[in-house]
Structure 1
Amino acid sequence: MAPLFLTAALHEKIWGGTGLKDDYGFEIPSDHTGEAWVISGHPNGPTTVQNGLYAGKTLAQLWTQQPQLFANGDPKRSFPLLVKILDAKQDLSVQVHPDDAYAAQHAGELGKTESWYVLAAKPGAKIYYGHQASSQAEFDRALDQGDWEHLLQTVPVKAGDFFYVPAGTLHALGAGVIVLETQQSSDVTYRVYDFDRIDAQGHQRDLHLADAKAVTQVPFKPVKTNPQVEEGLGFVKTTLQVAPYFNVFLWQIDGQAHFQAQAPYTLVTVIEGSGKLIVDEQSYSLTKGMSMVLPSPIKEWTLAGQLTLVASTPGPKAL
């Protein structure tokens, strides 16, 4: 069984730039490209298999038509995870995502818990993460009055930082930040503040304040991450997050390292360097920006070279 190498779906955004091309080699559609959906079964941007028996099929098609590749016992569900690389040339809108219950009722989708691994950050870069309101009344008043100076909470960031962003967290990437985002497969966003930007048609983008008031966690309680590091000959493996919907790992390879599957399938993106993946004595070249799924029939594999990868597996709520 071969790994499933994937072609990303690219999305233009008002806040995007050229980092996806400059840093990761994607063929972007314009100089304001904000997102590469590198592993996706979502209808708004499904990725396509490049190689092997399933070349030309989308990940969504394989999930339903070949459920054995994922040990998927319920093909009627949608593929539960989504991995993106985001290039924030400008600040993203300050936004919040709903949980499963609210999203199902109001949007017919999954909720959206996500996480960010910071790939690059310009000096002085920051993210918006949480808020300072102590009560629902204070939060609602700040939204109604546009009191962003007193409401929004910012955190300085650098490459290598990791943030867990559960549904209900007010958040945004700041200008000059590139991240790898691991999330539930959902495209439901409630925009709270867009810095009074005007789009190409001369209009401000819609805000969703009523929904934001209904789903935002008040008061904000950040989830602390506790990375666990395992070092061995040729590798450093860091568990960045173990969570209900997904688990996220950083693999740093310098030489050769052997892995065994810990879940029904594994999602992998190369974020730095080059090397090779060896499965069943077959070797596959790896370069920065490549993404793949290691499906259920692949029980073990070897990584060799000098490269860094972010991997993820489904959590219990995604199985």
Structure 2
Amino acid sequence: MNNSTSQIIFLKPAFIRKLWGSQKLAHKFNFDLPKNTPIGEAWLVSAHPNGMMSYVLNGEYKGLSLAELFKQQPSLFANLDSSGSVINKEYPLLTKILDANDSLSVQIHPDDKFAEKNHQCLGKTECWYILECLPKGRVILGHNAKTKDQFNQWLAKEQWHKLLKYIPIKKDQFIYVPSLKIHGLLAHTMVFELQQSSDITYRLYDYDRKDELGNLRNLHLKEASTIVLAPDLNSSEANGHDNYLVDNKFFKLIKLINEGINHYSYPNTRWLQISVLDGNGIIDDTSIKKGDSFILPNGYTDFCLSGNMLLMVTYC
């Protein structure tokens, strides 16, 4: 049982309008979505500076954005080193649920080096846990070009059938998507996503869709061609083991299937963030349910779960 007096910090998600979204997250997770609006993303735990913030729902910090909390209360996140210097200037993680009612653009994200040089931000390595998909669902992951010249040739001619690599998916499958990897969710797929806190996306193809104003959305072919690897590389950097889906320098992702009453301990963590993807129950003496996301601050490394639930625990 946790001995810390620290309070569980519950967060209110941000809901993002997307051309490819729907209202499915409202009944799937009981989220209070804006009515008659295609919502594609629920940003569950977010302090991203573009304003898509999570806000504290309870306790003495109620009403603060996660970004404000992270800056004003560094002790909650053990975010000062022995000399008193800040370790992370910005909250480093971002968790979402994506409802791809229609296909997302074919895209690629920069790594830390390219993103820092060109955008002064983190790169974007991400991963998906499949919550829903079609019986014969697929996603785009990688490409078939052997050289940069071949990549650019197929890209210029929009020969997607040659260029893009598809893989089959099923419910509860995990997929790691490192930076510099071409990818895209296809229609009727819902995923939990953990990523670095970055919002830099280069689109290669967007199915010739138009935005609300009737304009084609911007593509970023030059940037994509610059950073893509050819031939494509399969990454093993997730380093998954036991119930860790990812355990690397970017983040840790733990899948917890709790049945009954169990105790958990994560020593040597600065803080934990947790999302409940299915079921309901109790953490220590606090009720939690499907759709909840919360932070266990520094010192809250041991806890007891009661109930049948699927949870994702993340930290870095």
Query: What band does the TM-score fall into relative to the shorter chain?
Result: over 0.9
Unaligned stretches of 5+ in structure 1?
230-237, 315-319
Q: Which residue of 1 aligns with 2:40?
A: 34
Which of 199, 203, 211 does residue 187 from structure 1 map onto?
199
How do 1:214-225 residues align onto structure 2 when only pairs under 5 Å count? 214-224=226-236
In structure 1, how many angstroms separate the alpha carbons of the residues matched to 2:40 and 2:178? 22
| Identity of matched residues, % | 38
Q: How far does residue 228 in structure 1 lie from its aligned partner after superposition? A: 3.1
Are 2:69 and 1:62 aligned?
Answer: yes
Which of 210, 228, 245 does residue 241 from structure 2 map onto?
228
In structure 2, how many angstroms separate the alpha carbons of the residues matched to 1:271 and 1:216? 33
Conserved in 1, the CA contact under 8 Å of 2:70 and 2:77? Answer: yes
Q: Which residue of 2 aligns with 1:246?
A: 251
Q: Which residue of 2 aligns with 1:93?
A: 105
Q: How far does residue 267 in structure 1 lie from its aligned partner after superposition? A: 1.2
Q: Which moved more, 1:104-113 or 1:67-76?
A: 67-76
Are 2:273 and 1:290 aligned?
Answer: no
Conserved in 1, the CA contact under 8 Å of 2:271 and 2:301? Answer: no
Q: How far does residue 22 in structure 1 lie from its aligned partner after superposition? A: 2.0
Conserved in 1, the CA contact under 8 Å of 2:145 and 2:230? Answer: yes
Unaligned stretches of 5+ in structure 2?
1-5, 81-85
Deviation by residue 1:190-210 (Cα, 9 ceiling, x = unmatched): 011001112222211110000
How do 1:1-319 residues align onto structure 2 when only pairs under 5 Å count? 1-29=6-34, 30-44=36-50, 45-73=52-80, 74=86, 77-224=89-236, 227-229=240-242, 238-262=243-267, 263-278=269-284, 283-314=285-316
In structure 2, how many angstroms separate the alpha carbons of the residues matched to 1:4 and 1:149? 47
How many residues of Structure 1 are paired with residues of Structure 2 in the alignment?
A: 302
In structure 2, how many angstroms separate the alpha carbons of the residues matched to 1:88 and 1:11? 12
Deviation by residue 1:275-315 (Cα, 9 ceiling, x = unmatched): 0111xxxx11111110011111213111110111011111x
Q: Which has the higher strand share?
A: 1
Q: What RMSD, in angstroms, separates the aligned Cα atoms of the two structures?
A: 1.3
Q: How far does residue 76 in structure 1 lie from its aligned partner after superposition? A: 6.5
In structure 1, how many angstroms separate the alpha carbons of the residues matched to 2:239 and 2:180? 21
Equivalent position amino acid for 1:22 in 2: H
Deviation by residue 1:171-201 (Cα, 9 ceiling, x = unmatched): 0111111111100000000011001112222
Equivalent position amino acid for 1:304 in 2: S
Q: How far does residue 75 in structure 1 lie from its aligned partner after superposition? A: 6.2
TM-score when normalising by structure 1: 0.92
Conserved in 2, the CA contact under 8 Å of 1:63 and 1:75? Answer: no
In structure 2, how many angstroms separate the alpha carbons of the residues matched to 1:178 and 1:289? 14
Q: Which residue of 1 aligns with 2:3?
A: none
What SS class does the counterpart of residue 21 from structure 2 fall into? strand
Deviation by residue 1:57-112 (Cα, 9 ceiling, x = unmatched): 11111111100111102166110010010000001000000011111121121110
What SS class does the counterpart of residue 17 from structure 2 fall into? strand
